[in-house]
Chain A
Amino acid sequence: MKRIYSAALAVFLLSAFLVSCSRNGASEEVKSAVPSPSTVRMAIAVDPDGLDPQMSASASTFQVTSSIYETLVTVDENGNIEPCLAKSWSIAEDGLSIAFTLREGAMFSDGDACNAEAVAASFTRLVSPSSARSQDYSFISSIEAVDENTVRFAFNSLDVTALAKFAYPWSAVVDTEHDESLRTNPVGSGPYMLSSWIPQQSLILERNPYYNGDCDIDMVEFVIMSDMTSAVTAMRNEQLDIILITGDLVGLFEGDDRFTIHALPTNGLQLMAMNNESEGLDDIRVRMAINHAVDKNALIEAVWWGYGEQIGSHFPVVLSEYADMNGKYPYDPERARELLAEAGYGEGELHLRMFLPKNYQEYVNAGQVIADMLRNVGIDVDIQIVEWATWLSDIYNGRDYDLTVVGHTGRLDALSLLSRYRHDAAENYFNYANDEFDSLLDAYAGEADEMKRREIAVRMEEILAEEVPALYIQDPIQIYVTDSSLEGFRTYPINIFRMDLLEYSDR
C-alpha cells in the first residue's frame, strides 16, 4: 500500500516539476493582475488572427491593431474623415491623385522614422499581387515619396471614395523592415506597441516610446474571454473596464453608478440572404411574400431584446447616405399567402433549406424565429446548422443554399458597401442581377458632386428595398459597459478602438 502512495507521490512531484518547467518560458510575460491607475482592461471574445492588419479581414484583429498602427487618415464617430498619420491632404482637381502631408517626427515603435518613404513602402506592400488586399487597392496606379513628409498616390480612374480607403484599418502603415514577422511582432507608428500576447489568455499593449501624439492611458490589456458570463462576472468584480454585452444583460449594470452603458447603432447590418437563383426564390413575388411574412419588430425583440434599428435595405442607419426604406413590405401574413398563391405555391408546397452558422448564436436564434414565421404562411423550411468554416465554403462561396442569416460590417460609402450586388461580383452570394443597379454603381464612382452621389445611393437602396434579394433585418445596436470613471469611450463606423482618446476622471 505504501508503495502505491509513494508511486503516486512521485508522479505528482514529477508533474509539478513539469508544470513549473513548462510555464517558465511564459511566466515573465505574464503581468500581475494589479491594475496601474492608467491601465484599461477590455474583454474580447476571440483573439486577433495575427497582428498584421494588411493580411487580415477580421474585426478582432483591427480592434487591436488600430492602437498599434496608424492609418493615413481616420474617422470620427460619425464617419467624417480626420487627420491621423497624415496631418493634411490635398486632392487634385481631376480627382486622380491625392497628396498626403505626414505628421512631423512620426516614428515606428522600433525607433525607425515613419516618413514618406516608409509610407510608400507600406502601400507598395499593400497593393502587391501577393497581398490579400491587392484588389481593393487596384485603383492606385503609382505611389511616390515626394519629399521627407509628402507622399502622393495617383489613380487609374476617378473613384470619389478614394480618400475613405485610406482610413480603413487594413490600410495601416506598417514597418516593412519587419515584413515577415509582423503577425507576431507588430511594428507600427501608433500610440501603443505589443508588450505580450498569450493567445486565448491576454494581449497587453504598452506605450510606444516614440509616439509623439497625446495619450493618457499607459497600458491596454485585452483579456480574451469567449464566455460572456465570465466577462460579466469579471466586470462586476471590477476586474475589467470595458466589455461588450447582449441586451438581456443590461439589467445587471443599469442603475449601478460604477458603470456606464453605451448602447449605439453600429455601422453594420444583419439580414437573411436569399439565393435569387433557387427554385421559388427566383420569383420576386415569393421574396416579397417572405418579407411580408416576417414580423421584424417581434424578431428583433425576441433575438436581440429590442436592441436594433430595423432596416428595409442593405444600408446601415449610421451612414449619411442612409434613407429610410422600412415599410415597403409591412408585416402582413395574409398578403404573403396571396403572393405565394399567385406564384403558384399552395400550403406546404414551397420547400426551402435554411443554413445557419453555428458560431453565431444570434443568427441561429434569428433563423429559427424567421423559420417559424415562414411556416406560418405555409412555407416548408428545413433548418441546418453548420460550422462557420463550412458556411464560408459551401454557402457563402459555394452558394449552395436557399436561405441563410448573417451579418455584414459596414463601409464608409455606398460604393464599397453595395458592390457585392454587382451581378458578377465574387461576393454576390445572393446571385442577384440587375443591370440598372450595376450602372448606378459605376455612375456613383464617377460622380464628383456629393448631392448627386447621395441621390444615386438612395436609388440603389430603393432598388434593393423593392426587389428584396434578402430580408433586411436590422442595424445592430452594440452595448458596451465601461467603468464610469473612464471617459472618451466611443464607437466608430469602422472596426477600430481609440484607446489613445480614453482617460480616467477620478483615479
Chain B
Amino acid sequence: MGKYIAKRLLASLAVMAIVSFMAFAALELIPGNAALIAAGTEGSASSVASIASGLGLDRGFMERVLIYYKGLLSFDFGVSSYFGESVSTLIRQRIGVTFSLAFLSVLLAFFVSVTLGSAAALGRGRFLDAFSRSVVQVFSSIPSFWLSLLFLILFSSVLHWVNVGDYVPPSVSLKGYLSSIIIPVAVLAIGETGPLLRLVRASMIRARNEDWYRIGKVRGISRIRLVMAYALRYALPGPLTLAGSELAKLLGGTAIVESVFALPGLGRLFLTAVEMRDIPLVEGIVIFVSFLVVLMNLATDLILFISNPSMRKAGGIRL
C-alpha cells in the first residue's frame, strides 16, 4: 500500500515537470510579455526594456527555465511579476476558497445525486424520476456564469440573504464562511448534479435487474436494506470515480464562479496570471494544481479499493 502510494506520488513529479515545461513553452509562444503589460500604452520604449531586465525577461528561454527549476529544488516558487508578491503566498491565500468551492460542491452534488438517483431508479417512470430527469437536467444545462448572475441577483439584491464579495475564512466565523460560499457552491453543485444523477440512476437500475437483487427480494429482505446494503455498494464505484474526477476538474475550473461572486480563489488568480503573462505565477499554479489533481485521483482510487473488496483483489494491491 505504502509502496503503491509512493509510486503514484513519484509519477506525479514527472507529470508536474512535463506540465510546467509545457506551460513555459506556451507562454513563450504566445505574443506579449509582462514588461509590455507593465509599460502599457502610456510608458515609453525605454521603460519596457528596463522593466524587462528587472524581471529577468532579457535572458534566453532555456536559461530562464533552468533558473526557475533551480529555485523549485529549494521550494522557491519565485515572485509574481504582476503583483510583486511571492507566488507561494498568493497561492496560500487562495487555496482555501477554491478547495471549499470544489469540495463542498462535489460533496453536495454527490449526496443529492445518490439520494435522488436511487429514489428515481426505484420509482422508475414515476413523478420523482421524471422530476429529477427534467428539472435537474434543465438546471445543470444552464451555463454557470448565467446561473451565477441569476442567483446573485436573487439572493443578494432581492432577498438580501448574502453579501457579495465578502469572503470570510472559517477560522474567523463558520457562519460567515458558509454564507459567503453557499450560493457559489450551489451553482457549482447544480452543474455537477446532472451527469452524476444520471450515472447513479443508470447504475441503480442495472442493480435492480441483477439476479441477486431479485433473489434478495424473493427471500424477503426489506427494500431499504436491499438498497442500502447491497445495491448502493454495487452501484457506487462509477459515480464515485466521476465525483473524484469532477473534484479534480473543479480545483482548476472554478474561475468563472469565483469571478462573478468576487471570491479570491485560485481560478481567478490563474486567469489574471495568464492575461498578465505572469510566468512565475502561472507556473506556480500549474504545478500546484497538477499536484492536487494527482492527489485527488489517488484518493479516489483508494476510496474505491476500500469500498469494494472485489476490486481490491482484482487490482492486485494489498492494503
Contact = CB atoms under 8 A, between A and B. Distances in A.
Interface of A: 1, 3-4, 7-8, 11-12, 15-16, 18-20, 22-27, 30, 32-33, 47, 49-52, 55-58, 129-136, 183-184, 198-201, 223-227, 229-230, 233-234, 236-237, 239, 359, 387-394, 396-397, 406, 408-409, 426-427
B294 to A, nearest CB: 16
Given A130-B50, A132-B39, A199-B90, A230 B171 contact: no
Contact of B47 (A19, A47, A133, A394): A133
B163 A239 contact: yes
A394 B31 CA distance: 7
Contact of A406 (B41, B95, B233): B41
Interface string B257-290: 0011110100011001001110000000000000
A239 B92 contact: no
A1 B306 CA distance: 10
Contact of A389 (B30, B156, B261): B30
Interface string B169-201: 111100000000000000000000000000000
B216 to A, nearest CB: 15
B218 interface: no
A482 to B, nearest CB: 18
Given A199-B90, A233-B157, A135 B277 contact: no
A196 B299 CA distance: 36
B21 interface: no
B152 A226 contact: no
Contacts of A184: 83-85
B93 A198 contact: yes
Given A200-B269, A389-B277, A135 B47 contact: yes
B32 A389 contact: yes
Interface string B23-58: 000000011110011111111111110110110000
B72 to A, nearest CB: 20
Most chain A CB atoms below 10 A, which of B43, B100, B149, B152: B43
A12 B108 CA distance: 12
A390 B37 CA distance: 10
A388 B277 CA distance: 10
Contacts of A19: 96, 99-100, 170
B303 interface: yes
A22 B38 contact: no
Given A52-B84, A130-B50, A236-B157, A230 B163 contact: no
A256 B56 CA distance: 52
B129 interface: no
Contacts of B43: 57, 132
Nearest to A29: B93
B83 A233 contact: no
Interface in B234-278: 236, 240, 259-262, 264, 268-269, 272, 275-277
A323 to B, nearest CB: 23
Contact of A229 (B32, B36, B149): B149
A337 to B, nearest CB: 33
Interface string B54-81: 1000000000000000000000000000
Contacts, number: 208
A1 B275 contact: no
B232 interface: yes
Contacts of B168: 30, 33
9 contacts: A23-B96, A50-B83, A52-B84, A58-B40, A199-B93, A200-B94, A226-B259, A237-B157, A392-B32
Given A135-B45, A223-B262, A226-B268, 8 more contacts: A22-B95, A30-B172, A33-B166, A200-B264, A233-B157, A389-B32, A393-B33, A394-B32
Nearest to A410: B42
Contacts of B83: 47, 49-50, 184, 199
B134 interface: no
Given A15-B103, A27-B172, A49-B83, A57 B39 contact: yes
B224 interface: no
B228 interface: yes
Given A19-B100, A27-B169, A390 B31 contact: yes
Contacts of A27: 169, 171-172
Given A30-B172, A201-B264, A359-B275, A223 B165 contact: yes
Contact of A49 (B33, B38, B50, B259): B38
Contacts of A56: 38
A345 B236 CA distance: 69
A6 to B, nearest CB: 9
Nearest to A33: B166
B38 A132 contact: yes
Contacts of B307: 1, 3-4, 7
Contacts of A25: 89, 92-93
Contacts of A224: 262
A178 to B, nearest CB: 13
Contact of A26 (B38, B153, B169): B169
A486 to B, nearest CB: 20
A226 B44 contact: no
Contacts of A223: 165, 262
Contact of A130 (B54, B166, B233, B264): B54
Contacts of B229: 1
Given A131-B50, A389-B37, A49 B260 contact: no
Closest 10 CB pairs of A and B: A389-B32, A183-B84, A426-B45, A50-B84, A23-B169, A201-B264, A132-B47, A57-B43, A393-B32, A393-B31
Contacts of B163: 33, 234, 237, 239
A56 B89 CA distance: 22
Contacts of A3: 306-307
Given A18-B99, A22-B92, A392-B37, A198 B264 contact: yes
Most chain A CB atoms below 10 A, which of B30, B33, B37, B164: B164
Contacts of A22: 92, 95-96, 99
A229 B152 contact: yes
B85 A199 contact: yes
Contacts of A409: 42
